[in-house]
């Protein structure tokens, strides 16, 4: 059986050498003097500007609104408003002591109408807290 080699071993060795080189402590470089005798100027260390928290939150919430809105309105029942919709069937119970009827139509009604998660009775108000 012939042994086939690929470039992954060489890539792994290069990656390990880079990681080990990055882990070694950085030596403080002395100013290098070129042949003309003038020292090379040292550049200041780069620093990040302070983050404006208000703008960061506004950008996050507006972007999150565009990402969450399709999920809230996604049609959950693919057979809604068709003759093959199995959620259109409901079960109800009428108690004898005068209480109102209890049935599954309250939960499955928004789905059989073609609604999304925002139209469900218990989940809809919770999803209203999300942006979008």
- Residue in the structure block whose two tokens are 């992954």: 8
Average pLDDT, the chain: 77
Whole-angstrom distance, CA of residue 91 vs CA of residue 104: 6
Take residue 95 and report the two structure tokens written for it: 């108690």
Residues of the chain with pLDDT under 50: 1, 23
Alpha carbon distances (Å) from 28 to 17, 21, 34, 40: 21, 15, 18, 15
pLDDT score recorded for residue 120: 83
Residue-wise DSSP of 12-29: HHHHHHHHHHHHSPPPPP
pTM of the predicted protein model: 0.44
- The number of angstroms, rounded, from the C-alpha of 99 to the middle of its chain's C-alpha atoms is 45
Model pLDDT, residue 4 = 55
Residues across the chain: 132
């Amino acid at each position: 059986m012939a042994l086939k080699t690929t470039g992954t071993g060489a890539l792994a060795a290069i990656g390990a050498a880079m990681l080990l080189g990055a882990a070694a402590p950085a030596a403080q470089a002395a100013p290098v003097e070129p042949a003309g005798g003038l020292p090379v100027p040292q550049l200041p260390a780069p620093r990040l500007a302070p983050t404006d928290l208000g703008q960061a939150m506004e950008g996050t919430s507006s972007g999150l609104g565009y990402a969450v809105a399709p999920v809230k309105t996604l049609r959950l029942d693919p057979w809604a408003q068709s003759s093959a919709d199995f959620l259109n069937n409901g079960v109800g119970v009428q108690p004898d002591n005068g209480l109102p009827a209890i049935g599954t139509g309250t939960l499955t009604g928004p789905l059989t109408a073609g609604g999304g998660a925002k139209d469900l009775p218990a989940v809809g108000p919770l999803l209203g807290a999300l942006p979008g």
